[in-house]
Structure 1
Amino acid sequence: MGQALVEIGALLRGARCAKRLTQAQVGEVCGYSASAVSRIEAGKLRLDYGSLIRFAAFLDIPSDRLCASAVPDIVNVATVAGGCRSDEEDAVRRRELLTGVAAAGATAVVGAGPASAASPPDDLELSLFRLPQAEPVPLPRLVGRIAVARRDFCATEYSRLGRVLPGLIASAEATRDATPAGRAREEASVAVARAYVLAAELAAKQHSDAAWVAADRALSAARSSGIPVAVGEASRVLAIAMRRSGRSTAAVHLLTKEAEGLDANRDHTGAVRTTLLLTGAYSAAAGRDRTTALALLEEAEQEADRRPAVPGLFTVEATRTQVDVYRIGVMNMLGTPDEAVEVAAGLDVSHLPTPERRARAWTDVARMWNALGDGPQTFTALRQVQQEAPQEVRRPALRALTAGLLYGPAQVPGLREFAARTGALSA
């Protein structure tokens, strides 16, 4: 294990013990199981950027104790735009970022500050056209706020994310507009793109047309940055919006074209390329193009097997487990869920890094069993979704799946209570 991971683990363990908290208590707040916290403290599990600052904020670890040498390699605005920056510049930038994000993380945890106090928008699309007034902020602070927002998405804290996003987007745009041309302007544009990517992801969860608006703005900002990774991230969410509106063929064309432009031999760009191939496979399956779907899935699998996983990608990581989850989704979409049963049997959902991804995996497994007519297995998977992410199971798609199961021919013990709890059964 790396010395940096050991140092971080020891620092977190010491701070937790000083506050007389259990690993379970820390994990509950920070979105990890007690066993995962144990592995983090032992230096056996790497934290992504947003998770690190959330742990630090909750445990009251001063930013100056998070020395640059102990910060794990993570994908953030500085690294994707890194180019030929010297080691000294990288160290200075990491220290600046930690100083900014520690304050942002503390705000997110304790609920202070104007962004946390804002009420959730009634209509995400309307809020995108009526962004609040905002002043430019230091770029490190902006990067920190986006890291925290990403962490909320990955932890399925959708209500909190919805409250924060309008102000975050407004701040990102104000910062970009006030930044002169050059590397800083590119990084500010990436920040804008990533704020809109989160908005598009959230809108897609809500089945909102705002996904189109946010994804289009994300791609525009990403292209202006000139950073391939940001362009890939934004292209993926735009393709999802296209697919959901019935334009699967166009979505596949966009994804494959963008994937061609990413260097498969570089860790970050290669990993993002793999996620584009996975989304392309699912989009092709939505268009009932089995040949293209399986070809893209196979290519993504080969890429995932060829290199170690890159931790800290924005919302989806390119791992073999993630490929297996997409394979289940592709088979469901193609109308051949029986072909996914063996894959699901060998799936270890615990290998997925975030509650959002684990909930998505269990959702695909639930859909598989539902299509095969197995009510009890479907319900078991739905309960796993709720265990991983309580807000996820209340999404429209999950409520519809629960309601369909409730009013189906099979009587499943406990299902009615579950439906009432999750909003699938009207009071």
Structure 2
Amino acid sequence: MAASVESKGDAVSLQQRQVGAIIRTARCARRMTQVQLGHVCGYSASAISRVEAGRLRPTEQSLLLIARTLGLRLDSLRAGQTVTLAADVTSDQEGAMLRRQLLMVGMAAAGVAVLPSASSAAASQDASAGIVGALYEPGPSMPVSLRELRAWLASARAHFTSARYQDLGASLPGLLGAAQATCDALSGQSREEARACVARAWVLATELALKAHSDVAWPAVDRALAAAQASGDSVVHGEAARVLAITMRRSGRPAAAVDLLRRTADSLSQGRGDVSRAVAATLLLTAAYTAGCSQSRSDALDLMAGAEEEVVRLSDLGARPGGRLFTVDATSEQVDLYWIGVHTVLGTPDDGVPYAQRITPGRLPTAERQARYGTDCARMWHNLGDHRRTFAALRFTEHVAPEEVRRPSLRALTADLLYAPVTVPGVRELAARTGVR
């Protein structure tokens, strides 16, 4: 393959930046890594990174392979033909035009219909909708101090743990922009800390997209993982790996997700810090549920046993890292909660009942985790055919986290109750409150 042309100097042409941005957008929408795209066209992952940054101009043959792989028109990727701009268009207008083009490319490559400017009622209810703008149409952002950035991130995390997803969705675009601007303005150790904040902000964005069952989780987690790797913080990398694995599981790749979680947990468990080992335990819990979803019973039970053993070990050592973890704690209550979900997906929900009965929901640390308890119990009782207890679990979830019962999966569960042969008082009202038809 002919050699590519490396851009000279710090100045990068508008055309090359546009080409790189379009490639990155389409790659993320296609759920491909830089390694995978590079393998197709004979480049390394770092070379693809330079192409996407506009610092490396691919050869014509490479552009052809990239265009075919990403479903793009070749003429839209040729330098100088990316976007035709009128001579009197300002730089701000150029940026707006490019952002609109990227938004169209990303949505089209993901197989999503592009919405008209007047968004529908359904779209306005999707708290993750703002993430699309943060990805493809970011507004101007100014750097802030690290102290302000940490406080902003803590506020966004509080929205998530309190299950205030609309508030989180409203705060994320500004947070993501400010975090990246702050990172770009710093250097040295301060920049690494800012990168960790960028990664955790994108972790929250991915969590929100997963709650909404939105495909935007893929490009969001790509940003989270890139920032986590650049930060050099193994704990933050573990947090990003967890949401990546959940995204992979949702896309029908549970075996690869379990492998990723195993490897990342093993790496973290070698660390001396309690937080690293606690994050490793949460990765094993996620791996166990993921294995259960693919009916790998022995793997699911082994992974749960490993996670439980790690949590007990941390408890015996007097470690209490739970409050320092980002979205999921490593506690005995958390282990019991995952046992409910694992047994339910394995088709043995009756084995989950004892775990559900010994959990005191109020001891779960956040509204989001309490809602997860209600959700998992609802699924467990539903699989056991107990409609009244299923409804009671859904009502509990609505009580602790009203926005949680509006998630697609719980609305589907409500719909099952609504049309079940057994009439349960209150279901019709719940369906009306959550928009189930």
Q: How does the TM-score come out when normalised to structure 2? A: 0.68
Structure 1 residues 381 and 423, CA, compared in 2 at 3 Å: closer, same or farther?
A: same
For the 8 Å contact 2:130–2:169, the answer to whether it is kept is no
The correspondence of residues 227-306 of structure 1 with structure 2, limited to 5 A, is: 227-263=233-269, 265-306=272-313
Aligned to 1:405: 417
| Paired amino acid for 1:289 | S
Q: CA deviation at 1:178?
A: 1.2
Q: CA deviation at 1:155?
A: 0.4
Are 1:381 and 2:384 an aligned pair?
Answer: no
Structure 1 residues 120 and 344, CA, compared in 2 at 3 Å: closer, same or farther?
A: closer
Q: CA deviation at 1:126?
A: 4.5
Structure 1 residues 400 and 121, CA, compared in 2 at 3 Å: closer, same or farther?
A: closer
Q: Within 2, Cα distance between the matches of 1:211 and 1:177?
A: 24
Aligned to 1:187: 193
Q: CA deviation at 1:409?
A: 1.3
Overall identity of the aligned pairs, in %: 52
Question: Cα deviation per residue 1:310-350 (whole Å; 9 max; x = unaligned)?
Answer: 12310101001001111111111111111111211212111
Question: Cα deviation per residue 1:176-210 (whole Å; 9 max; x = unaligned)?
Answer: 11111x21111011000000000000000000011
Aligned to 1:151: 158
Q: CA deviation at 1:422?
A: 1.9
| Paired amino acid for 1:151 | A
For the 8 Å contact 2:130–2:172, the answer to whether it is kept is no
Q: Within 2, Cα distance between the matches of 1:215 and 1:384?
A: 31
Are 1:169 and 2:142 an aligned pair?
Answer: no
Q: Within 1, Cα distance between the matches of 2:256 and 2:359?
A: 31
Are 1:318 and 2:341 an aligned pair?
Answer: no
Give 3-state SS (helix, strand or coil) of 1:410's partner. Answer: coil
Unaligned runs of 5+ in 1: 1-118
Structure 1 residues 146 and 328, CA, compared in 2 at 3 Å: closer, same or farther?
A: same
Structure 1 residues 271 and 197, CA, compared in 2 at 3 Å: closer, same or farther?
A: same
For the 8 Å contact 2:275–2:324, the answer to whether it is kept is no
Structure 1 residues 184 and 168, CA, compared in 2 at 3 Å: closer, same or farther?
A: same
Q: Within 2, Cα distance between the matches of 1:273 and 1:150?
A: 20
Q: Within 1, Cα distance between the matches of 2:159 and 2:128?
A: 17
Aligned to 2:352: 340
Structure 1 residues 378 and 348, CA, compared in 2 at 3 Å: closer, same or farther?
A: same
For the 8 Å contact 2:203–2:239, the answer to whether it is kept is yes
Q: Within 2, Cα distance between the matches of 1:329 and 1:196?
A: 26
The correspondence of residues 97-108 of structure 1 with structure 2, limited to 5 A, is: none
Q: Within 1, Cα distance between the matches of 2:167 and 2:262?
A: 34
Q: Within 2, Cα distance between the matches of 1:261 and 1:127?
A: 32
Q: How does the TM-score come out when normalised to structure 1? A: 0.70
Are 1:364 and 2:376 an aligned pair?
Answer: yes
Q: Within 1, Cα distance between the matches of 2:414 and 2:335?
A: 26
The correspondence of residues 58-207 of structure 1 with structure 2, limited to 5 A, is: 122=129, 124-180=131-187, 182-207=188-213
Q: CA deviation at 1:263?
A: 3.2
Which has the greater radius of gyration? Answer: 2
Q: Within 1, Cα distance between the matches of 2:287 and 2:307?
A: 10
Aligned to 2:343: 331
RMSD: 1.4
Aligned to 1:99: none
Aligned to 1:394: 406
Give 3-state SS (helix, strand or coil) of 2:311's partner. Answer: helix
Give 3-state SS (helix, strand or coil) of 1:262's partner. Answer: helix
For the 8 Å contact 1:146–1:195, the answer to whether it is kept is yes
Structure 1 residues 272 and 200, CA, compared in 2 at 3 Å: closer, same or farther?
A: same
For the 8 Å contact 2:134–2:177, the answer to whether it is kept is no
Q: Within 2, Cα distance between the matches of 1:280 and 1:121?
A: 25
Q: Within 1, Cα distance between the matches of 2:128 and 2:337?
A: 32
Unaligned runs of 5+ in 2: 1-125
Question: Cα deviation per residue 1:270-313 (whole Å; 9 max; x = unaligned)?
Answer: 11011100011011111111111111100101111112331231
Q: Within 1, Cα distance between the matches of 2:345 and 2:310?
A: 23
